[in-house]
Amino acid sequence: MIYSNILSSITRRWQALPRPAHAPSGLPDKRLVLELIQTALAQHVSPQYTGLGLMLVRVMNHAKVSATYGARRADALMTFVGQRLELTLGKALGHGQNHPALVTRLGETEFAVLTDASVDAAAQRRLGALLCETLNLAYPLQEVAVHVNAAVGVAACDQAYPDAQDLFQCADIALRVAVSRGRGSLVVFERSMREALVKHQLLENDLNLALQEQQFELAFQPIMALDKLQHVGFEALARWQHPVRGCLMPRDFLDVAEDAELICRLDLHVIGLCLRAMADWQARQLWRSGWFVSVNLSAQHFNRPGLCETLLGLMHSHGISTQDLHLELTESAFMQNLRVARGEMTRLRQHGFELYMDDFGTGYSSLSHLHALPFSAIKIDKCFLDPMVHNFEQSSLISTMVQMAQLLGIKVVAEGVETLEQLSVLQNLQCEYAQGHLMGAAMGHDMASTWLQAALDPVV
């Protein structure tokens, strides 16, 4: 395999420089690598040049390792990752230390692998897949074996006169997509990804402005008790009144809010709107003891201190009891750091908040954690209800979920109930609560007020 002049030049220049103290593991950092690449490209431009390739590798669970085992072990882990990268490249590409690739350390959680033109697109993909596989193997940290969750983004300069910054940007876009897909993902850059990123960034900017200008409203979907078909609560759902695009549903902006780490601000804003509505209903005597409103809470809250105190402060300022606000959590909220999540959830329960496991059954470990965490209810996802009426196995699965929850003293809410047949099956299975279009569509504050008035004065 030919070791190209460009990569050889980059490596020689790096080896000739004194090692800076800020370069972990003896690897060059991003700024220096950019300079080396650009200088080498300027000196080796030719019409026949086919381009460099770049793979960005991110260790996704570095923060968790640091929080669990300490910063020193996390740093040692990253040193091992860098060594394994170089070892894997040496074995895969041959030529010992003179293989056609250069490993760099970009920061606390990322590495880069620069390859020359002798490693074509197909070889880059194979190499990226191999790196994902080998990096996810266990690493010995003293007496502890730690696994790495790695994702890889790949890009190549396919122009005659490539730019180092552009190469890094393309690889970074691919890496973002890979990270969004989860552990062990490999993504090769495509031009459409850049367009999607621009749209993503524009929406992020709009979302920041929307939080400042309070462009969000709530829609309330009724939750009914199935034994008497009576109102017991609402689920509060966010609606973004975008000044240009109109009403946006959560599916249109929640992923952006999560990626931009705006989701906690959004959640607390939604909770504030929810408490304001509840205070209005209580002041107008449109509220009955035992009724509630449930809201969704992102997993990111459990990575930050003070969640319980913040919520208690909001409840106090609006004069609302903690028993009237129920918090819905998806599996990701407690899977990232189970110990921390369990402690925070226990504190919330001790202060009177009811906790729901949302989308129960869709995660791989919902069953194993149901008994270990202080949930008061589970919400069965709509995907289980759709085939339930005409599928005995699916009906049996729902029955098992309900029976198991009842044994644990946990209530069950069925989501997405749309037909009388589904309602009848759920009632026969003794499911406690349900929501969906059959019970009532999501509605604005004024219509929800009318709904509550009707619930207080039922027609005999």
Beta-bridged to residue 112, according to DSSP, are 56, 104
Q: Are 412 and 431 in contact (CB under 8 A)?
A: yes
What is the Cα–Cα distance from 409 to 427, expressed in whole angstroms? 18
- Residue 93: how many CA atoms within 13 Å on its side-chain side? 30
CA-nearest of 238, 172, 164, 191 to 442 is 238
**Does residue 3 or residue 269 have the better pLDDT?**
269
Superfamily for 200-456?
A: EAL domain (3.20.20.450)
Average pLDDT for 449-455: 96
Mean predicted confidence (pLDDT) in 199-215: 94
**What are 287's two structure tokens?**
């509220």
Active-site residue list: 415
Q: What is the pLDDT of residue 245?
A: 93
Q: What is the CA radius of gyration of the chain?
A: 27
Sheet containing 186-188, strands listed edge to edge, beginning at the edge strand earlier in sequence? 101-105, 110-115, 53-59, 150-156, 186-188
Looking at the chain, the domain(s) classified CATH 3.20.20.450 span 200-456
pLDDT exceeds cutoff 70 at 198: yes
Whether the pTM exceeds 0.85: the reply is no
DSSP class of 448: H
**Selected residue with higher pLDDT from 457 and 42:** 457
Which superfamily does CATH assign the domain made up of 5-189 to? Reverse transcriptase/Diguanylate cyclase domain (3.30.70.270)
| Average pLDDT of span 435-459 | 92
Residue listed under structure tokens 């300079």: 35
- Does residue 32 carry a pLDDT above 90? no
pLDDT at 160: 41
Please tell me the predicted confidence (pLDDT) of residue 156.
77
Q: What is the mean pLDDT of residues 372-398?
A: 81
**CATH 3.30.70.270 domain residues, the chain:** 5-189
**Inter-axis angle of helices 307-318 and 338-350, nearest 10:** 30
Please state, in angstroms and as integers, the Cα–Cα distance from residue 410 to each residue in 110, 384, 432, following that order: 42, 19, 10
Specify the pairing of strand 53-59 against strand 101-105: unpaired
H or E element: which one contains 221? Answer: strand 216-225
CA torsion angle 17 23 26 32 (round to 10): -40
- Specify which residues 110 forms β-bridges with: 58
pLDDT reported for residue 378: 92
Cβ atoms of 208 and 256 closer than 8 Å: no
Q: Which of 152-156, 226-230, 280-284 has the lowest mean pLDDT?
A: 152-156
Q: 84-102: per-residue pLDDT in tens? A: 888 888 777 765 555 556 7
pLDDT in tens, 112-168: 887 765 566 777 788 888 888 888 888 887 677 888 888 899 887 655 445 677 778
Distance CA 40, CA 393 (A): 64
Report helix, strand or coil for 155. strand
Longest CA–CA span in the chain (Å) reads 90
- Per-residue pLDDT at 447 exceeds 60: yes
Question: Which of 387, 389, 380, 338 is closest to 361 using CA atoms?
Answer: 380
Q: What is the mean pLDDT of the chain?
A: 83
> What pLDDT score does 1 carry?
35
- Of these ranges, 91-100, 140-149, 243-252, 379-388, the one predicted with the greatest mean pLDDT is 243-252
Q: Pick the more confident residue, 418 or 331.
A: 418
pLDDT of residue 200: 87
pLDDT tens digits for 302-356? 888 899 999 999 999 999 999 999 999 987 666 666 778 888 999 999 999 999 9
Closest CA to 349 of 316, 318, 327: 327
Beta bridge partners of 241: 247
Report pLDDT for 50.
47
What pLDDT score does 90 carry?
Answer: 77
Q: What is the pLDDT of residue 119?
A: 61
Q: What is the pLDDT of residue 21?
A: 45
Residue 440 has pLDDT above 90, yes or no: yes
What pLDDT shows up at residue 60? 85
Q: 79-83, 238-242, 248-252, 334-338 — which is least confidently predicted? A: 334-338
User: Residue 38: pLDDT above 50?
Assistant: yes
Per-residue confidence at 7, pLDDT binned at 50, 70, 90? Answer: low
Percent of all residues in the chain with a pLDDT value above 70, rounded to a whole number: 80
Binning pLDDT at 50, 70 and 90, where does residue 193 land? Answer: confident
> What are the pLDDT digits (tens) for 46-59?
444 445 778 899 98
3-state helix, strand, coil in the chain (%, to 5): 50, 20, 30
For the ranges 28-42, 54-68, 123-137, the lowest mean pLDDT is seen at: 28-42
